[in-house]
Amino acid sequence: MKLVFVLMFHIVLAGSQAQIRVRCSSDVSRPIQLQDGDQLSLRTDVVIPIVFHVVWHEDEENITDQQIRSQVEILNGAFASGTQASTAILDIFKDYAAKPGLRFCLADRDPEGVPTDGILRRYAEEAFLADKKVRGRTSIFYDEFGGSNAWDPSRYINVWIAVSNRFAGYATFPGEVDFPEEEGIIIDPSYIGNIGSAQQNRPFHQGKTLVHEMGHYFGLRHIWGSFNNPNCADDDGIEDTPPQAQAYSGCPFGTMISCNSPDMYQNHMDFTDDNCSLFFTIGQADKIQSVLKQYRPGLLEQDICTPKTNADPPISISYGIGAKLVHLTNLGDQILQGQLRIIDLKGSIHYEQRKTLIDQIYIPVEYLATGVYIIQFYNEQLLALKKIIIY
């Protein structure tokens, strides 16, 4: 039986020269050593905070909050227990399908405890920062090189959304990263979620690339083994994933065989299209839990996903176009103290002061250039946000 081509790639046009961009460039250089009996004993899902760094150069790379939130839902569909398994899983593999018992959320507090929506935005003066190195460091991971600094990787999963000329997705394996500041995942904006620009990226329009990369982040290899020499003698180290000679692309149908056994091409760690990437196995779920406990234990100790903001904060924020004033009104009967901040969509701070809101305050903003800005008023208990457009 003829097998499908080993490496999924895309042709990316850069000027007049075509370049090959792989869908995933993650590979492990050495086996991950795990101690026996190091699996978690999960009664409920572990809730893990994610922070997304949107590092954009062209406007279309600055994807919406809604597109990012749709990706979080997709991750939970793949990793969280209690979510329904796909009915399209081949009958021979249905008994192997499992959920790792992880649930993801957008972090609601930054490392200093300041309320946040878990989405950072940075305008990049240069394109392809994910491909550029300065003094041995990859630029996208550092503010000083035009990118965005990681939040403490022992407490958050950092995901950088950015365009690369070389890959659509990349993740650091446990224990493999040279610099802790570079721990995390990079993914192309058009591969995020299932709305917005993702809909123009079929057949990779259902957010499965980040599911795949998150598998790498928790220690899973490609189901066929190594990039360099895929063959039946190589393996991913998981007992219930059968040996497979090479990767699959597209969306095969029915039973496909190599290495004298059916190939698990619907597994999230293969390279099939998004609508054919359907499940992890019991062995992979166990491996993810073991890696989380041994290599990423700090993620188990966070309550950063426990919202401490009011669903309906007692503050009204408005903008008077004619007078160019931001107007904040206390709608409650208690004096509010908090930080007032004005930022633009590039993440630059244009105003920041501690304020006491008794009744109402006015902030002149005639100095702001034309553009879109976010007004934030926050403290440990609440977060009020307002988007304004200055003409």
Spatial neighbors of 263 by CB under 8 A, at least 6 apart, are 242, 244, 245, 248, 256, 257
- Chain centroid to CA 214: how far? 8
Tokens at residue 296, please? 């990423």
Helix/strand/coil for 13: strand
CB 197 within 8 A of CB 189: yes
Tokens at residue 290, please? 């073991």
CB 48 within 8 A of CB 103: yes
- Strand locations in 218-335 (E): 257-258, 261-262, 280-281, 315-320, 325-330
Spatial neighbors of 347 by CB under 8 A, at least 6 apart, are 120, 121, 122, 123, 148
CA distance 339 to 346: 20
CB 215 within 8 A of CB 229: no
Active site residue 144: no
CA distance 19 to 201: 18
- Of 99, 86, 74, 105, the residue nearest 198 (C-alpha): 74
Tokens at residue 312, please? 């309906």
Tokens at residue 162, please? 């950015």
Catalytic residue among 213, 301, 352, 380: 213
CA distance 208 to 194: 9
Start-end of H helices in the chain = 65-79, 208-217, 282-295
Catalytic annotation, residues: 213
